[in-house]
């Protein structure tokens, strides 16, 4: 750019040559995405589909250098002055800008030259490499939930005395069915399918993540070869564009017409989590019993769920030979977890309703624990750079972090674009990197995550 503009330069700290390109001024410590938060997008308010561009990415300017400690500030230098490193200073509101550096409670900088790899400006870093967009973490969530369930599977099995550990089989190199379960449990059965609206059914390969977080494909599913077999499908359906979600299990039961069968349904509550289920059991056929349990879980508080208007089964087979069962959630549900679990007893006895309820209650406990403590965001989602302190130290930084977040917070870094458990980004974590997906206490900047109704 050829135009002239006023800047503030620090020619003394860390060898000098530092230009003030922006300040983030907190005018309401109790507010987030409130009036005046130019670095936390107000454009996103009440707009669930908002994806930028934020002031971290665009060419907007505001404020003045001399007013940078009393208001948000963004200079033309933010996107027009090439640089290699960044410096950050933590100062009190309304301090004279000429005294800011010498009165900073914390001051630190990077010395790796990292910014040259991202276009030389913060605007280029955010707009081209780490844009401030939400990632609905349905795939992240379902993997975390299934992994948490797998870690607790021995506890779940203990709730079904005499649990039969069936054998999973392959079609070539693809693992997607149970042939006989080791004791003629199935004759080529337990083939799992999912379906969205009237689209084609998809045969599920075990231990493979299906789906993504997009509006047009609003689910993620993972079926694990655990004991018990556990398939979980997170229905994001953020904009409620899809009406119905179906899980279906097909095959032939090894009972070949002998024995008995029973259908059950019910509901289980665990805190704010609500679960409804439909189950079918084939038993007393001298083979291991087969008890398939379909369910969905909603939480209108933590997940902002819109539960299905109905959770209905198809006309289930009433024989012990043909095995074709499906359950459908209707009414444009949002943010629910659908699942299928296979319970079995070696002696061929019925899995009681009390045992089913105990297993599902334990499942809800696992879900609630995973929801609270487990968050997996792709490693390349953030950029982390080490810092050198001019004022302050690691201990001082940690004293400003809430005690419950200190175990997951590491001082001595700047982290760009961390994500929270809802898949919403913050822009920068000053002086720290975080392994916790509760970022609001240690990071600044972001986009509004209020869901539009």
The residue that leads in pLDDT, 51 or 180, is: 180
Q: Which pLDDT does position 373 carry in this prediction?
A: 42
Token code pair at residue 140: 């992240």
Question: Which stretch of 111-120, 213-222, 332-341 has the lowest confidence by average pLDDT?
Answer: 213-222
> For 394-412, what is the mean pLDDT?
92
CA gap 59, 52 in Å, rounded: 13
| CA distances for 135 relative to 21, 184, 300, angstroms | 28, 44, 20
> For 410-421, what is the mean pLDDT?
90
Q: Is the pLDDT assigned to residue 218 strictly greater than 80?
A: no
> For 99-112, what is the mean pLDDT?
94
Binned at pLDDT 50, 70 and 90, residue 49 comes out as very low
Q: Is the pLDDT assigned to residue 163 strictly greater than 80?
A: yes
Instruction: State the CB neighbour count (10 A cutoff) for residue 327.
Output: 26
Q: Is the pLDDT assigned to residue 193 strictly greater than 80?
A: yes
Q: Is the pLDDT assigned to residue 123 strictly greater than 80?
A: yes
Q: Which pLDDT does position 380 carry in this prediction?
A: 73
CA gap 384, 434 in Å, rounded: 10
How confident is the model over 366-378, as pLDDT tens digits? 998 876 544 556 6
> For 2-7, what is the mean pLDDT?
76
Q: Is the pLDDT assigned to residue 217 strictly greater than 80?
A: no
Bridge partners of residue 432, in order along the sequence: 411
The dihedrals phi and psi of 173, each to the nearest 5 degrees, come to -100, 0
The residue that leads in pLDDT, 181 or 443, is: 443
How confident is the model over 26-38, as pLDDT tens digits? 765 555 545 567 8
CA gap 125, 383 in Å, rounded: 10
Q: Is the pLDDT assigned to residue 451 strictly greater than 50?
A: no
Q: Which pLDDT does position 349 carry in this prediction?
A: 93
Q: Which pLDDT does position 453 carry in this prediction?
A: 37
Q: Is the pLDDT assigned to residue 205 strictly greater than 60?
A: yes
Instruction: Tell me if residue 243 falls in helix, strand or coil.
Output: coil
The residue that leads in pLDDT, 60 or 135, is: 60
Binned at pLDDT 50, 70 and 90, residue 452 comes out as very low
Question: Which stretch of 126-140, 188-202, 268-282, 398-412 has the lowest confidence by average pLDDT?
Answer: 126-140
Instruction: State the CB neighbour count (10 A cutoff) for residue 403.
Output: 8
Q: Which pLDDT does position 215 carry in this prediction?
A: 42
Q: Is the pLDDT assigned to residue 171 strictly greater than 90?
A: no
Long-range CB contacts for residues 354-359, cutoff 8 Å, separation at least 24: 355/159, 355/160, 355/161, 356/264, 356/266, 356/277, 356/279, 356/291, 356/293, 357/266, 357/268, 358/159, 359/156, 359/159, 359/160, 359/228, 359/293
Smallest CA-to-CA distance from 329 within 280, 275, 392 is with 275
CA gap 61, 128 in Å, rounded: 19
Bridge partners of residue 385, in order along the sequence: 414
Q: Which pLDDT does position 314 carry in this prediction?
A: 85
Q: Which pLDDT does position 376 carry in this prediction?
A: 55
Q: Is the pLDDT assigned to residue 330 strictly greater than 50?
A: yes
How confident is the model over 273-327, as pLDDT tens digits? 999 999 999 999 888 999 999 999 999 988 889 999 999 998 787 677 888 899 9
Q: Which pLDDT does position 385 carry in this prediction?
A: 97
Q: Which pLDDT does position 251 carry in this prediction?
A: 87
Q: Is the pLDDT assigned to residue 185 strictly greater than 80?
A: yes
Q: Residue 326 is inside which H or E element, if any?
A: strand 322-330
Q: Is the pLDDT assigned to residue 194 strictly greater than 90?
A: yes
Q: Which pLDDT does position 14 carry in this prediction?
A: 94
Question: Which stretch of 332-336, 344-348, 372-376 has the lowest confidence by average pLDDT?
Answer: 372-376
CA gap 409, 418 in Å, rounded: 12
CA gap 196, 198 in Å, rounded: 6
CA gap 278, 295 in Å, rounded: 6
Q: What is the DSSP string of 40-65?
A: EESTTTT-TT-----TTTS---BS-G
> For 167-177, what is the mean pLDDT?
88
How confident is the model over 126-152, as pLDDT tens digits? 999 888 877 655 556 787 788 889 999
pTM for the complete prediction?
Answer: 0.59
Q: Residue 10 is inside which H or E element, if any?
A: strand 9-10
Q: Residue 214 is inside which H or E element, if any?
A: none
Residues of the chain with pLDDT > 90, as a percent, come to 58
Q: Which pLDDT does position 249 carry in this prediction?
A: 95
Domain ranges for the chain, please list them: 9-136+377-439, 138-373
What average pLDDT does the structure give for the chain? 86
CA gap 22, 123 in Å, rounded: 11
Q: What is the DSSP string of 155-205?
A: HHHHTSTTB-----EEETTEEEEBSSTTTT-EEEEEEEEEEETTSPPEEPP
Burial code of 271-286, b = ≥16 C-beta within 10 A, e = fewer? eebbbbbbbbbbbbbe
Q: Which pLDDT does position 27 carry in this prediction?
A: 61
The residue that leads in pLDDT, 244 or 217, is: 244
Q: Is the pLDDT assigned to residue 46 strictly greater than 70?
A: no
Smallest CA-to-CA distance from 192 within 132, 236, 139, 232 is with 232
């Amino acid at each position: 750019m050829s135009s002239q503009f006023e800047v503030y330069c620090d020619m003394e700290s860390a060898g000098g040559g530092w230009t003030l390109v922006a300040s983030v001024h907190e005018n309401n410590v109790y507010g987030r995405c409130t009036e005046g938060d130019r670095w936390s997008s107000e454009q996103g308010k009440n707009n669930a589909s908002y994806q930028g561009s934020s002031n971290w990415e665009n060419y907007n300017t505001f404020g003045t250098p001399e007013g940078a400690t009393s208001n948000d500030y963004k200079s033309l230098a933010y996107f027009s002055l090439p640089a290699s490193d960044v410096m950050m200073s933590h100062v009190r509101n309304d301090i004279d800008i000429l005294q800011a550096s010498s009165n900073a409670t914390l001051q630190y900088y990077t010395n790796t030259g990292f910014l040259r790899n991202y276009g030389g400006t913060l605007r280029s870093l955010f707009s081209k490499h780490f844009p401030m967009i939400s990632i609905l973490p349905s795939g992240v969530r379902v993997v975390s939930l299934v992994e948490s369930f797998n870690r607790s599977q021995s506890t779940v099995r203990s709730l079904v005395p005499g649990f039969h550990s069936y054998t999973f089989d392959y079609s070539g190199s693809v693992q997607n069915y149970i042939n006989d379960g080791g004791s003629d449990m199935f004759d080529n059965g337990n083939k799992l399918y999912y379906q969205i609206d009237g689209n084609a059914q998809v045969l599920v390969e075990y231990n493979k993540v299906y789906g993504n977080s997009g509006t047009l494909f609003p689910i993620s599913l993972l079926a694990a070869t655990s004991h018990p077999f556990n398939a979980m499908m997170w229905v994001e359906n953020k904009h409620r564009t899809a009406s119905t979600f179906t899980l279906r299990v097909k095959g032939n039961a090894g009972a070949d017409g002998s024995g008995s069968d029973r259908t059950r349904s019910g509901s289980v509550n665990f805190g704010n989590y609500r679960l409804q289920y439909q189950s079918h059991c084939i038993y007393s056929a001298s083979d291991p019993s087969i008890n398939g349990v379909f369910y969905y879980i909603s939480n209108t508080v933590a997940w902002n769920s819109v539960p299905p208007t109905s959770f209905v089964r198809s006309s289930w087979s009433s024989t012990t030979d043909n095995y074709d069962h499906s359950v459908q959630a209707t009414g444009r549900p949002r943010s629910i977890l659908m699942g299928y679990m296979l319970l079995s007893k070696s002696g061929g006895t019925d899995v009681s309703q009390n045992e089913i309820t105990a297993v599902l209650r334990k499942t809800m406990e696992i879900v609630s624990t995973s929801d609270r403590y487990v968050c997996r965001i792709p490693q390349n989602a953030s950029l982390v750079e080490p810092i050198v302190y001019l004022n302050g130290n690691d201990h001082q930084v940690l004293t400003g972090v809430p005690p419950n977040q200190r175990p997951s917070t590491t001082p001595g870094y700047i982290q760009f674009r961390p994500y929270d458990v809802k898949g919403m980004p913050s822009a920068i974590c000053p002086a720290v990197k975080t392994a916790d997906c509760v970022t609001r206490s240690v990071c600044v900047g972001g986009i509004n995550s209020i869901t539009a109704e």
